[in-house]
Amino acid sequence: LARQLVILAGGKGTRLATELGTLPKALADIAGRPLLHRQLDLAAEYDFLDVLVLVQHGAELIREACGGGEKWGLRIDYIEETRPRGTAGAVVGALDCLADQFMVLYGDTVLDVDFSRMMRWHNTLSPDATLLVHPNDHPFDSDLVEIDRQCRVIAFHSKPHPTERDLPNLVNAGLYVFERSALLQAQALPELADFGKHVLPAMLASGADLRGYRSREYIKDAGTPSRLAKVISDLTSGRVARRSLKVLAPAVFIDRDGTINQDPGHISSPDAFKLLPGSGGAIRRLNDSDYLAVVVTNQPVVARGEASEEALRDIHNRMEALLGKASGYLDGIYYCPHHPDSGFPGERPELKGECDCRKPKIGLIEQARTELEISLNQSWFVGDSTVELETARRAGLRSILVRTGQAGRDGKFPQRPDFECRDLAEAASLILDVWPQLAAQAAELMTKVVPGSCVLIGGLARSGKSSLASALAHILRQGGQSAVVMSVDSWLPTPNASLFEPCDLSAVETLIGNVGNETVVVEVPLHDHLTESPALSYSQTINPQDIVILEGVSTLALTASRARRPVYRVFVERNEQARRASLLRDYLERGCAATKFDELYSVQLRDEEVLIPGYRENANSVIMSALT
C-alpha cells in the first residue's frame, strides 16, 4: 500500500506575525529548520511516497522551499486553496487526489510520531478513522475526546464541559488516519468545516467507527509565540526525541489510594475521592521531566460488586480532573478489578479468583511497559504499603515508601523500601532533584568497591545513609554486579537511636564474620518506622559474589575484626540544619514533644564531638549527603 500523507499548510500564522515576518506558518523556523521540512523528514523516515500539501498563504514560498520532494525521496503535490474553508473542507475538496487510505497532519505541528506503528494499529482494528489522542495539562479548558476500553471514540466534548460529571483527560492531537470511503459522506458538510469540531463529531453521530490511538510521543502545535518557543526548546533540549518510541521511557509508577489520594478504605464513588495535598503539583513536576506518570492500582471494589467499572471510570475521571486543576496528568491508569476471595454480597463471580495483575503481581507493570515502551530499570514505584515495595522488587523497580496512607504499616510483605519520603511531593523531589546527585556519588563509590566486599555506610541519624546504600546497590546492579543492602540498626534494641547509646553489635559482627565464600542466609529483622517495635523479619540470601552493603548509625562502630571479605567504610555527612529538621520531623511523627527534642538534640551534638572525628578519620570515603 503506497502511503499518502496530507499536510494542511494553508495557515497564515496571524498570531505569529512577529516571529514569521513574511513566511507562512508552515515555514516557521524551528531550531534552524523549517517546520514543514521536519514533517517531510518524518514522512520519508516512515516510508511515505506521496505527500499532498494543501497551501494558501505563502503558497509560492512553500513550493520553492519543498519543490517536488526529490530531496526526501518523496513525491510532493500541491493543491492551492483560493479561499479559506477550514481544515476538513480543504481535505474533502481534494478527495479526488487521495488514496483509499491516508494520514492527515496539521502544518503547524512539531512531532516525532512513529507513523508506521499508528498505521499498523489502524489497520489491525480497521475503523473509519483513527485520531491520535493524549492527555494535556489544561483539560478543564480543552476540547476532550472520550474513548472506551476498546479505544472506540464514544463522545467529543467541546467547551464548556458538562458540570454533572467529570471527563477523562484526553485531547485530539491533530494527527489522523482516514479511510477515504468514510470521508465521502462528509462532502455534504457545510464549508469551513474543521476536523475536530465538525467532521469527526458528525461522523460519530452518523455511526462511524472512530478510534483513539493513545500515544506518549511528542506532538504539539506551534501556533502561538509561547507554544513556538516551547517546541523549539523541547527540540533543542532533546525532549522531542526522548519521547520517541525508539527510546524506552523512564516511568514513575504510582499507587493510587493513600499515595495520590486519601485512603478512607475503599472508594466507590467520585465524591469519596480526595487528593492528598501536593499530589497534583508532584505529578506536574514528573510531567515536566522525562518520566511518565503511571497509576497502578488494585481495585477489588469491582470484583466485590461495590463499584461497577463505570463507577471506577467516573472515579478516575475525577482523579484526572482534580490533578488537571494543578496542571498534572497521567500517562496511564492501570487497575486490577479482581479479588481472590469469594463471599461478598453482590460480588461478580467472573472477577473472583487469582489473576496476573493484582499487585504484588506485576501484570499491570508489564502491560504498561509494553504499551508505553518503558525501561523498568530506569523507573520507580511510589506507594504507601509493602505491597508496592514487593511489586517493585519483583519488577526490578526502585521503590519509594511514602508515609501517607498506610505508611508501610500494613505488614503484608517483609520488604524494606529503597527510599522513604514524607509524601508524593517529596518522592518527586527525590527522583528529580536528589537522585541525579546520589547516582553520581554512587557511581564514584562503585569504582572503589571490589566485587564480593562488604561496604559499611555510617553517619549520624538522618544523614542519608540508607539513600546512599540503595543508590549504590542500584548502580552496582545496573553495572551487572549483585548487591544486598541491610540496615544494621534493625538488629539493635533501639533502632535509629543515638549513636551513643550502648548497643550490642555482636550479632552484626558475627554476620560480617560469616559472610565469606559460601552462600549464607541471614534473618534480618524489620522495624516499624513509627513505633520502633520489631514487626517482621525476612530471610536474606547472601551469595559469594554479592557486595554486602550495611548501613546504619552504628555501622562505623563495627570492628569487622572477623571479616573474611575486604571492608570499605563510608562516612556520610549532611548539612546540620537539614539533618536537625529531618530528625525533628521523625520525633514529632512518633509523638514526642518538640520541647523534649531540643534537649535531646543538644546532648547528642555534644556527644558527637567526641566520637565523630574518629569514625570520619577511619572512613575510606567521606561523602556529603545529596539530601537537601
In the complex, least distance from residue 304 CB atom to Zn ion, rounded to whole angstroms: 13
- Residue 160: cis peptide before it, omega within 30 degrees of 0: yes
State phi, psi for 189 to the nearest 5 degrees: -75, 155
Q: Which is nearer to Zn ion, 367 or 540 (CB)?
A: 367
Q: Min. distance of Cβ 358 from Zn ion in angstroms?
A: 4
Catalytic residue selected from 255, 263, 331, 384:
255
Select from 305, 296, 101, 104 the least CA-distant residue to 195: 104
In whole angstroms, the minimum distance from the beta carbon of 396 to Zn ion comes to: 20
Is residue 96 part of the annotated active site? The answer reads no
Calculate the alpha carbon distances from 471 to 81, 250, 294, 418 in Å.
Answer: 60, 17, 22, 8
Minimum CB distance to Zn ion smaller for 338 or for 393: 338
Number of residues that bind Zn ion (CB under 5 A): 5
Q: Which is nearer to Zn ion, 40 or 312 (CB)?
A: 312
CB of 383 to Zn ion, least distance (A): 17
List 114, 234, 257, 546, catalytic entry: 257
| Residue closer to Zn ion, measured from CB, 363 or 544 | 363
User: Mask 329-368, x = binds Zn ion (CB under 5 A)?
Assistant: -------x-x----------------x-xx----------
Residues 6+ apart with CB under 8 A from 256: 295, 297, 319, 335
Spatial CB neighbours of 579, under 8 Å, sequence gap ≥ 6: 460, 461, 462, 463
Instruction: Of 275, 319, 127, 288, give the one whose Cα is nearest residue 208.
Output: 127
How far apart are CB 359 and Zn ion at their closest, in Å?
A: 9
Residue 3 or 338 having the CB closest to Zn ion: 338
- How is residue 7 written as a grid cell? 499536510
Q: Is 257 a catalytic residue?
A: yes
Taking CB under 5 A as the rule, does residue 59 contact Zn ion? no
Distance (Å, whole) CA 86 – CA 192: 4
* Span 279-338, contacts to Zn ion by CB under 5 A: 336, 338
**Contact code string over 126-155 relative to Zn ion, x by CB under 5 A:** ------------------------------
Contact 372, 243 (CB under 8 A): no
The rounded distance, in Å, linking the Cα atoms of 472 and 450 is 13
DSSP H/E element including 317 = helix 309-325
- Nearest distance in Å: CB 329, Zn ion: 25
**SS3 state at 287:** helix
Beta bridge partners of 157: 144
Distance, in Å, from the CA atom of 154 to the CA atom of 53, rounded to the nearest integer, reads: 31
Cell numbers describing residue 582: 529531618
* Residue 134 or 338 with smaller CB distance to Zn ion: 338
Which residues have a catalytic role annotated?
255, 257
Positions in the binding site for Zn ion (CB under 5 A): 336, 338, 355, 357-358
